[in-house]
Structure 1
Amino acid sequence: MSVPVAAAQGDMWMNYHTLLVAEAGTLPQTPVVFPNGLVTTQPGIAIIKTGIHTGKVAVSVEVYDEPPRVTTEEWDEVVEMPLEAVLGRMRVCGLASEAPDYFPDLTPEGPGQYRIRVHARGRDAAIDLVAETPVEEYLIMTWPSSKAPEAIYKQSDSYGDQQRAASEVI
């Protein structure tokens, strides 16, 4: 079983239903759709769709040098995507907030291809509301990898269903 080479956890302030893993100064290119209901990627950025509109979410990050074991127990949604690091220094942050110092660089090998696996739970707890204390939790894992298709391991929350349905309309 692989062991993370770096890990951290903490509460993250986010807004507009958006939690990011991004290189400094990189913003999502519109339109942003979420066919899997949870996460989408663009060069230099991963956009994670939160249930709350604004507030704090609990975030754990783990960086690996090889693919970690897939676990879906205790999670509502688990999706894995290709992730391209353009500059090579991607960190978790909000749309209008910088990455806290305690979160590590999620692309430590520099520019190139990675995988990102996002786990989510609690997105149905306060949809479209403000959460001063976290009601949602996310586990974000990354590792170097060649480009590969998306992998969906679990989809079970109502908010994800809404996002998947909305992306079909576009």
Structure 2
Amino acid sequence: MHVTDRWRASGAALVLLALAAGCSSATPEPTPTTSGSGFVDASEHQFYLAGVDGIVDYAEPDVTGTIAASPGGGAFVHTSVSNGRVPYTWAVHDDEPAVLGDAWEDVGEVVVEVVDELHVLGWGGGSWDEMDLAFEGPGRYVVRCSASGRDLDWDIAADPVRERYHFDVWPAPQGAQDRLIRAGSSLARSTIEN
């Protein structure tokens, strides 16, 4: 069953339950198709979202202050820590999800061309997430990067790392473009201004 069909089925059940309880309406909250978490080895202020070959061309995150689409496919994520095991979470969706709350200081989106697969990958292949975030196969995807704690440990090898990231991924609709949603950290603001 496709995730949209599950939402419809669960939504119908919620409406019936709400009507039985005397409520006038209920709107189901969409849930991600799949989600997970892990740690990625950042080095030289970076880690990647990359294909099977693990190659990502450098790209400056000057639009979002956090993430940049690589010209050759994939994405480059700019970290505050110079080195460390960075915690992250991810969720893949059929459609654009709601933006996470203000606890995530930096939020930006990039449109990524996926040639084969899309994995969270540490600098130099140091760590690899088995989950393919390009769940519909090759094509264009929006990757929303939400980040917090990026002003806490600038330019150090941190253990533990206090900054964290969340990636929402969904197929890119026609006309989707890179965009900044929120730049709350001084690191994001300075990256955008330079």
What TM-score results when the alignment is normalised by the length of structure 2? 0.78
- Displacement of 1:98 after TM fit? 3.4
Q: How does 1:89-108 map to 2 (within 5 A)?
A: 89-96=117-124, 97-101=126-130, 104-108=131-135
Q: Which has more radius of gyration?
A: 2
Q: How does 1:32-51 map to 2 (within 5 A)?
A: 32-35=59-62, 36-42=64-70, 43-51=72-80
Partner of 1:130, secondary structure, is: coil
Q: Which amino acid aligns with 2:97?
A: P
- Displacement of 1:86 after TM fit? 1.1
CA distance in 2, matches of 1:34, 1:28: 14
Partner of 1:51, secondary structure, is: coil
Aligned residue among 147, 151, 169 for 1:120:
147
Q: Where do 4+ consecutive residues of structure 1 move more than 4 Å? A: none
Contact residue 56 and residue 73 of structure 2 kept, 8 A: no
CA distance in 2, matches of 1:71, 1:26: 28
Q: How does 1:41-80 map to 2 (within 5 A)?
A: 41-42=69-70, 43-80=72-109
Say if 2:91 is the partner of 1:84: no
Provide Cα deviations, 1:68-120, integer angstroms capped at 9, x if missing partner.
11223211100011111112x1110111223134xx21001111111100000
Identity %: 25
Counterpart residue number, 1:142: 169
Contact residue 150 and residue 163 of structure 2 kept, 8 A: yes
CA distance in 1, matches of 2:161, 2:30: 29
**Bigger relative contact order, structure 1 or 2 (CA pairs below 8 A, ≥6 apart):** 1
Provide Cα deviations, 1:4-44, integer angstroms capped at 9, x if missing partner.
111111222211111211102242324x2121211110242
RMSD: 1.5
Aligned residue among 43, 48, 54 for 1:15:
43
Q: Relative to total residues, which structure has the larger helix share, 1 or 2?
A: 2
Aligned residue among 56, 59, 63 for 1:28:
56
Q: Any unmatched runs of 5+ in structure 2?
A: 1-28
What TM-score results when the alignment is normalised by the length of structure 1? 0.88
